[in-house]
Chain A
Amino acid sequence: MHSDRASLKLKIAAAAGLLFLHLPILLIFVYAFTTEEKSFQWPPPGYTLKWFAATWDRPDVWEAMGLSLKVAAISTLLAMILGTLCAAAVSRTKFFGRESISLLVILPIALPGVVTGIALRSAFSIAEVPFSTWTIVLGHATFCVVIVYNNAVARFRRTSGSLIEASMDLGANLFQTLRYVILPNIATALVVGGMLAFALSFDEVIVTTFTAGQQQTLPIWMLEELVRPRERPVTNVVAMVVVLVTLLPILGAYYLTRGTEAVAGQGK
């Protein structure tokens, strides 16, 4: 344990752990090509591409995908605005109740999703708000704020306050300072926060089941297929596509935060 090289036991344990994390996801990729329709038979009896075409022709998949993208886009935008405002306030000044604000932001993600979900649902029923795309957005934006907030707060702390003062001393007003000094400094943190918030919203299912009414986001569609399977091979293909779609923002976020203190994804 005191040498510079890892012991064989540690290497094996670490490698086994990583394999445990990755093999199940890789399996999805194999199943997307299987010819077997009725069961989860392994090894697959044959391989085919026809389920990709079948999935392409399914309007319900496209509809769910469209709704998911729409909800994720609006929620991300809202979360970016609210999260950045909150981060700016918390990181630049000390004020009474600052700790409670941080707690308030983290709470929606710290409490189990089922609590957030049923809380929103009971509030909607009391306020007699009908379910719509907007009730889904309301829920998603609430728990996406923390992702943007975490990334922005870390960046604000590293951005020196004297930069802003210098800009103001040189005659720029607040809006010019915002445009030319503050935004360029926090831009990558915002983009990273936004990408992760998008990925989180695109994938969220627990809160959504409580706030969606009859509409189906892609995760709700998948859940429906898991509980009451209709066409298993189509589910396999959708699962593979979802993995690929969520992978992009993660790789992008990683690429942008490389070399800085990694904040991406902390406290998802």
Chain B
Amino acid sequence: MTMVQTTPSAQAAPSEGVLTRISDTLWRRPTLLLLILLTPPALWLGIIYLGSLFALLLQSFFSIDHFTGLINHEFTLATYAELFTPANFDIIRRTVGMAALVTVASAVIAFPIAYYAARYAKGAWRALFYLGIMMPLWSSYLVKVYAWKLILAKEGILTWIFEGLHLTWLLDAYLALPVIGGNSLSVSPTGTFLVFVYVWLPYMVLPIQAALERVPTSMLEASGDLGAKPAQTFRHVLLPLALPGVIAGSIFTFSLTLGDYIIPQIIGTSRLFIGQAVYQHQGIAGNIPLAAAFAVVPIVIMGVYLWTAKRMGAFDAL
């Protein structure tokens, strides 16, 4: 900003004199103004948020005395070592695997919606698509989870549809499968997966749509003119250009799945995810150090993920 020196207005009423003087001082010294603007938010986020994160990190280096249940305030890596016991490592592996599957499925479902919205939707349709993605994104998270509890329940609409199509045997055969099945869909890993995909899907659509909107139509036409079949154009032109959007969306879906503890608690098996482990260890078990160490896991994974995405140039185009 260029500096323009102003003299205090001669007509200024006497009561405004103080304000004008303050105003002039601030205008002459932009650093002071900047400081005044920045101090409240920086203090809030710096003290409350970073302070809390630091407290969390600190806790993860303490350990719990398994006999007394008291926290031992001595620096140790023992709590982190506990993460690698088979039971705990299983939780981490299950969560990361689920996050990866959810991310891939969201990308596959989101792509056609985003592509249609970016390329073909015009006028009123465009507004409709925009609201059509925004409304589910902002609808209550718990209500969405609840809706799926209704859908997946044994007496719910999905069973009814399968019955109507005389395909109950198919559903039963699927639920009988060892890893992905269960007593009913609402207590199976498949159910957890479906709800995760549903709840995070809009986060994937928006960045892909933003990336696709920047792809010039002429490039797709050129590819076609040069003899590429639609599938080839998609594989070699469209997908590479949309990839930054897909990666940006995957950051959301991956991070959100890693940290969620409500969906697997309401729809799914009794096997834990990272978020549930954090919640249980800090609550019922009172093992705050282990809960803190578990909470550090998604931070580290997301750190590595973001770093890799950055190396691949995912942020350059956004």
CA distance A196 to B48 in the complex (A): 22
Check B261 against A114 for contact (C-beta < 8 Å): yes
Complex partner residue of A226 from B56, B145, B256, CB under 8 angstroms = B145
CB under 8 Å from chain A, chain B span 101-126:
109-110, 112-113, 115-117, 119-120
Q: In the complex, what residues of B have CB within 8 A of residue A108's CB? A: 45, 49
Nearest chain B CB to A119 CB, angstrom units:
4
Instruction: Write the B274-285 contact mask toward A (1 if CB under 8 angstroms, else 0).
Output: 110011001000
The residue in chain B whose Cβ has the minimal distance to the Cβ of A142 is B49
CB under 8 Å from chain B, chain A span 249-268:
249-251, 254, 258, 262, 264-266, 268
Q: In the complex, what residues of A have CB within 8 A of residue B151's CB? A: 24, 27
CB under 8 Å from chain A, chain B span 23-40:
23-24, 26-27, 30, 34, 37-38, 40
CA distance A215 to B49 in the complex (A): 22
Nearest chain B CB to A158 CB, angstrom units:
16
Check B147 against A203 for contact (C-beta < 8 Å): no
Q: Contact residues of B with A, CB < 8 Å? A: 1-2, 4, 6, 8-9, 11-12, 16, 19-20, 22-24, 26-27, 30, 34, 37-38, 40-42, 44-46, 48-53, 55-56, 59, 109-110, 112-113, 115-117, 119-120, 127, 129-151, 153, 155-157, 159-160, 198, 201-203, 205-206, 220-221, 223-225, 230, 233-234, 238, 255-256, 258-262, 265-266, 274-275, 278-279, 282, 288, 291-292, 295, 298-299, 302
Interface membership of A187, Cβ < 8 A: no
Check A119 against B142 for contact (C-beta < 8 Å): no
Summarize A's interface: helix, strand, loop or mixed: helix
The residue in chain A whose Cβ has the minimal distance to the Cβ of B289 is A122
Check B134 against A250 for contact (C-beta < 8 Å): yes
Whether A205 contacts B142 in the complex (CB less than 8 A), given A14-B113, A118-B292, comes out as: yes
The 5 A-B pairs with the shortest beta carbon distances in the complex, nearest first, are A112-B259, A2-B224, A13-B112, A173-B23, A14-B116
Q: Contact residues of A with B, CB < 8 Å? A: 1-2, 5-7, 10-11, 13-14, 17-18, 20-22, 24-25, 27-28, 31, 39-43, 81-83, 85-86, 88-89, 92-93, 95, 101, 104-105, 107-108, 110-116, 118-123, 125-126, 138, 141-142, 145, 161, 165, 168-169, 171, 173-175, 196, 199, 203, 205-206, 209-210, 219, 222-223, 226-227, 235, 239, 242-243, 246-247, 249-251, 254, 258, 262, 264-266, 268
Check A101 against B52 for contact (C-beta < 8 Å): no
CA distance A119 to B54 in the complex (A): 8
Complex partner residue of B150 from A17, A40, A112, A251, CB under 8 angstroms = A40
Q: In the complex, what residues of B have CB within 8 A of residue A249's CB? A: 138
